[in-house]
Amino acid sequence: MIAASAVKPTLQQIYVKTMMDVIGRGLVMASQVDEEVQHEIRQFPVGFVLSMSVFPHGPAFVAQVTSNGQLNLLNEYADQPDLTVRFKHMHHAFLVFSFQESTAQAFANDRMVADGDLSYAIRLVRCLNKMEALILPKLVAELAVKQYPTQLPLKDKLRGAANIYLKVAQSYLKRSDQHG
């Protein structure tokens, strides 16, 4: 864990921007490989756009539900998303992304707001929790999520994490090939 007071605001912003990108990509990849996340995403209408951001113009990701029930990151989106989960301050995002506070605790502490249908916000948080439970070491994941899944055998966790990390790495390599 990183002590929030020991990190300068510029470093917090760089860290949050990096983590926002990783989490956005991780969520997209989890929607491709994890049955539980896929089930939750299928409950959103096709074309549904969700975003997570830091107020007022901080780091963000925007994703859209595809016709095959998965998420796709959008590079640009000018309209208002159907659901926006917004951190009220960069420091609040840092607390969550450095695993000092769970997403559920951040909502309870009024550090985040959801603009859109609350039932969709709850589904998104469940997707984020499952992705974090898969990709993070158990000790860290227990800090990040409200309740660590009781039915997550180590082999399923390792398989899910490997698939998500591989796909995230491929997405970064694909992006660097397009820019290089």
Structure tokens at 164: 């998500």
The residues spanned by each domain of the chain are 7-172
**CATH classification number, 7-172, choose in 3.30.1050.10, 3.40.1800.10, 3.30.365.10, 3.40.640.10:** 3.30.1050.10
Structure tokens at 4: 């929030």
- Residue 165: what residue type? Y
* Rounded distance between C-alpha atoms, residue 17 and residue 8, angstroms: 14
Could you report the per-residue pLDDT of 7-18, keeping only the tens digit for each?
677 888 999 999
Q: Which residues contact 101 (CB under 8 A, 6 or more apart)?
A: 95, 109, 111
For the question of whether the overall pTM of this predicted structure is more than 0.85, the answer is no
Could you report the per-residue pLDDT of 9-66, keeping only the tens digit for each?
788 899 999 999 999 999 999 999 999 999 999 999 999 999 999 998 889 999 999 9
Structure tokens at 30: 């989890």
